Amino acid sequence: MTVNNDSTDDPMDGWFPESVAARYDDPGGENDSAAIDPAMELLAQLADGPVLEFAVGTGRIAAPLALRGLRVSGIELSGAMASRIAAKPGGESVEVHIGDMTSTRVDGEFALVCLVFNTIGNVTTQDGQVAVFENAASHLRPGGRFLVEVGVPDVRRLPPGQDTVPFAVNDAGDGGGYVGFDRYDVATQQFTSTHVTVSCDGSGSFRRIPFRYVWPAELDLMARIAGMRLESRWAGWDRSDFTSDSVKHVSVWQKPTG
């Protein structure tokens, strides 16, 4: 197997350089309309004013929201990802700011700040994750909401002595396939997500991304530090009940009105 490394990537784009951005909107998974439409419905219901998306990426959420007539801004660290937004329907009206969601400021007050698709975990320190909540709160108008979508840490599947959990094994049916697995350090709440893709001709790619996993109760404490309180928590965009068996959650914290 040969592994292709893209030497043209800009190191300032971190874990989402041009080589990743070019494939990010390929069909499948979280980029399909079937996955995005339920998110659109809930976000549009919560947004009774301007929206700010942290880690706006290629605009898969921001552009459809703007197409609904909402004023949408975004913060994105990767210029390669952000460069794709304008080409999407509605994307031309999204105001994009290149920067770090822990500290970058956007003018104005917002009714909703959102951070989706596990991206809070891309911030790999607890202090950094607290800074994300504080930055969200500083952008919200009184009564505004901060929404986060993130998976529940999968450490219940770890028996003693094991630190790795596979989350995807896909056979392409033509001699190729994809394997994804997470490796956890439960002492530090650090984990790495590894993605291995092999094509039918034997070529392939290998990508490893660091994360910090975070529990729902820990996120609630971060919100309290930032001056917000939990308003709602669901198991998904359909507002289904969050239980001990839920694999992810969509949580909403509100900034006080007074």
Instruction: Compute the distance between CA of residue 93 and CA of residue 140 in angstroms, rounded to an integer.
Output: 21
* Model pLDDT, residue 41: 95
pTM: 0.90
* pLDDT score recorded for residue 164: 96
Give the pLDDT confidence score for residue 28 in this predicted structure. Answer: 59
Residues 125, 243: one domain? yes
Q: What is the CATH number of the domain that holds 121?
A: 3.40.50.150
Domain count, the chain: 2
d(CA 108, CA 59) in angstroms, rounded, equals: 20
Pair 76, 176 in one domain: no
Evaluate whether residue 6 is within a structural domain: no
Q: What is the pLDDT of residue 33?
A: 63
Verify that 100 and 56 share a domain, yes or no.
yes
* 148 plus 168 within the same structural domain: no
Look at phi and psi of residue 140 and say left if phi exceeds 0, alpha if psi is from -120 to 50, else beta: beta
Using DSSP, state whether 239 is helix, strand or coil.
coil
Residues 158 and 48 in one domain: no
- Residue 28 sits in the same domain as residue 110: yes
Q: Is 201 exposed, middle or buried (0-12, 13-18, 19+ CB in 10 A)?
A: exposed
Cβ pair 182, 167 in contact under 8 A: yes
Residue 5 lies in a domain: no
Question: What is the predicted pLDDT for the residue at 30?
Answer: 56
Q: Is the domain of 144 the same as that of 115?
A: yes
123 in Cβ contact with 103 (< 8 Å): no
User: Quick check: is 2 in a domain?
Assistant: no
- pLDDT attached to residue 258: 80
| Structural domain that includes position 163 | 154-211
pLDDT of residue 246: 97
Q: Which of 54, 161, 66, 151 is nearest to 103 (CA)?
A: 54
Residues 43, 33, single domain; the answer is yes
Amino acid at 89: P
User: For position 173, what pLDDT does the model report?
Assistant: 72
Distance CA 188, CA 55 (A): 24
Residue 147 shares a structural domain with residue 127 = yes
What letter represents residue 84's amino acid? R
Q: What is the pLDDT along the chain (258 residues), one digit of tens a residue?
A: 222 333 344 545 778 889 889 888 876 555 566 778 999 999 999 999 999 999 999 999 999 999 999 999 999 999 999 999 999 999 999 999 999 999 999 999 999 999 999 999 999 999 999 999 999 999 999 999 999 999 999 998 899 999 999 989 988 777 789 999 999 999 999 999 999 988 888 888 888 999 999 999 999 999 999 999 999 999 999 999 999 999 999 999 999 998
Confidence (pLDDT) at 31: 58
Considering the domain boundaries, does residue 131 fall inside one?
A: yes
How far is Cα 146 from Cα 46, in angstroms, rounded to an integer? Answer: 10
Q: Structure tokens of 203?
A: 């070529």
